[in-house]
Amino acid sequence: MRMWIASTVLGGIILKPIIFSGMQATGVPSLGNYIGAVKNWVALQQDYSCLFCVVDMHSITIRHNPTEFREKCRELLTLYIALGLDPQEHIVYFQSHVPAHAELAWILNCFTYMGELGRMTQFKDKSQKHEDNINAGLFTYPVLQAADILLFDTKLVPIGHDQKQHLELCRDIATRFNKIYGDIFTIPQDYIPPVGAKIMSLQEPTKKMSKSETANPNNVIYLLDPPNVISKKFKRAVTDSFNRIENNPEEQPGVTNLLTIYACATNQTVEQAATELANIGGYGNFKTKVGDAVVAMLEPLQKRYYELKADTAYIDEIISNNANRANQLAQTTLTKVKNAIGFIPK
């Protein structure tokens, strides 16, 4: 099965539609990254051929210590596998191991307008967050993201709400390119999970939970937080003075966020979770219950992570083998694009 994706696509017969998704190595992934992204990727592996990328090239719009960055990248790839992504049947790899990402990004830069990039809310938010380092990479970030997706004839891109605007831009770039050169790119669609597409900060529940948050670690549950730390963070989570457990994002953002987390951790709808917890007896008990559910969900995944981390030979083999498969697959679209533009073949 190892070459399944490569052989079916390179042979021109696509048995299953392709999914591409990625995550930046900007910190230990958060509970938001798991619920909003990876948990869904795991489920989607059944019906799609998937590429799951550690987008290390995207990650360098902020500065890192090289040794720590290397560790973060490896940690994220190992976590992908511990969380349930399958590197045999699908492809799990580092973006920087596939030069075609950067090549296609440059080409797509020439088909993207400054005005379009200037409208991206993530660029505006991150420019405010990193005022001393508003680099061109941050500005053209969505173009590299478009290249990631379009390189593999991707049909479906699982994303959280925060990435919707970028995917729309990707579709616009692909459509523009296709209008000039014919049917080169597959136009991708988004997949937004029905629950948990935006998990909020525990202390400031009107803001998204983000893994690179460092100002106050109580805002974020990191996937490798030990159980006692997870419980403590939930106990400190901000709620309100209504003293009722309801799905009411406008008036009760903190409670609604905890309810959503509980629903995702116990595989129920938010309404089912609200009914179950309505009479739990106060916010203290409610927060303990949510903490316990998250610990129960994460503990086996953490155990698996530490086992895999210790097996360095196995992880090395996956890194090399999966990079080869991704490189092989990436050439099909890149060659089509280069030919369409008029570059002379090697």
Catalytic residue positions? Answer: 126, 208, 211
- Residue 156: which of 325, 330, 17 has the closest Cα? 17
Give the shortest CB-239-to-ligand AQP separation in angstroms.
Answer: 18
Nearer to ligand AQP, 237 or 337 (CB): 237
23-31, 110-118, 303-311, 314-322 -> range binding ligand AQP (CB under 6 A)? 23-31
Matching residue, tokens 């090399």: 320
- Under the binding rule (CB under 6 A), the answer on residue 203 touching ligand AQP is no
* Residue 316, token pair as written in the block: 């090395």
Q: Is the Cβ of residue 209 or residue 258 nearer to ligand AQP in the bound state?
A: 209
Residue 256 binds ligand AQP, judged by CB under 6 A:
no
Please say which residue, 6 or 160, places its beta carbon nearer to ligand AQP: 160
Which candidate, 250, 246, 260, places its Cα nearest to that of 198?
260
Binding ligand AQP (rule: CB under 6 A), the pick from 36, 87, 188, 253 is 36
Name the phi and psi angles at 154, rounded to 5: -65, 135
Strands (E), 152-262: 154-158, 189-191
Which of residues 23 and 293 has its CB atom nearest to ligand AQP in the complex? Answer: 23
Of 35 and 337, the one with the shorter C-beta distance to ligand AQP is 35
Report the C-alpha gap between 99 and 337 in whole angstroms. 15
Whole-angstrom distance, CA of residue 144 vs CA of residue 103: 9
Residue 282, judged by CB atoms within 10 A of its CB (0-12, 13-18, 19+), counts as: exposed
Q: Give residues 153-192 in contact with ligand AQP (rule: CB under 6 A).
A: 159-160, 162-163
Q: Which of 5, 32, 85, 305 binds ligand AQP (CB under 6 A)?
A: 32
Which span (46-54, 174-182, 195-203, 262-270) binds ligand AQP, by CB under 6 A? 195-203
List 69's β-bridge partners, or say none.
none
Residues binding ligand AQP: what is the number (CB under 6 A)? 20
Q: Which of 33, 95, 231, 256 is close enough to bind ligand AQP by CB under 6 A?
A: 33
Which part of the chain contacts ligand AQP (CB under 6 A), choosing from 8-16, 64-72, 83-91, 206-214?
206-214
Identify whether the C-beta of residue 223 lies closer than 8 Å to the C-beta of residue 288: no
| Stretch touching ligand AQP by CB under 6 A, among 113-121, 208-216, 256-264, 309-317 | 208-216
- Residue from 107, 199, 221, 334 that binds ligand AQP (CB under 6 A)? 199
Q: Which of 97, 198, 309, 336 binds ligand AQP (CB under 6 A)?
A: 198
Closer residue to ligand AQP in complex, CB, 6/72: 72
- Scan for tokens 């106990």, then name that residue: 235
Count of residues for the chain?
Answer: 346
Rule CB under 6 A: say whether 26 interacts with ligand AQP.
Answer: yes
The type of residue at 91 is I
333-340 long-range Cβ contacts below 8 angstroms, 24+ apart: 333/100, 333/104, 333/150, 333/151, 333/152, 333/153, 333/184, 333/185, 334/100, 334/103, 334/104, 334/151, 336/184, 337/104, 337/107, 337/177, 337/181, 337/184, 338/107, 340/181, 340/182, 340/184
Does 64 bind ligand AQP (CB under 6 A)? Our answer is: no
Stretch that binds ligand AQP, among 4-12, 99-107, 205-213, 225-233 (CB under 6 A): 205-213
Helix (H) or strand (E) segment spanning residue 136: helix 136-150
Torsion, Cα of 60, 201, 158, 5 (10° steps): 60
Cβ at position 313, least distance to ligand AQP in Å? 28
Q: Which structure tokens are listed for 152?
A: 């593999």
**Closest distance to ligand AQP from the beta carbon of 326 (Å):** 18
Instruction: Give the footprint of ligand AQP on this chain (CB under 6 A).
Output: 23-24, 26, 30, 32-33, 36-37, 159-160, 162-163, 197-199, 208-212
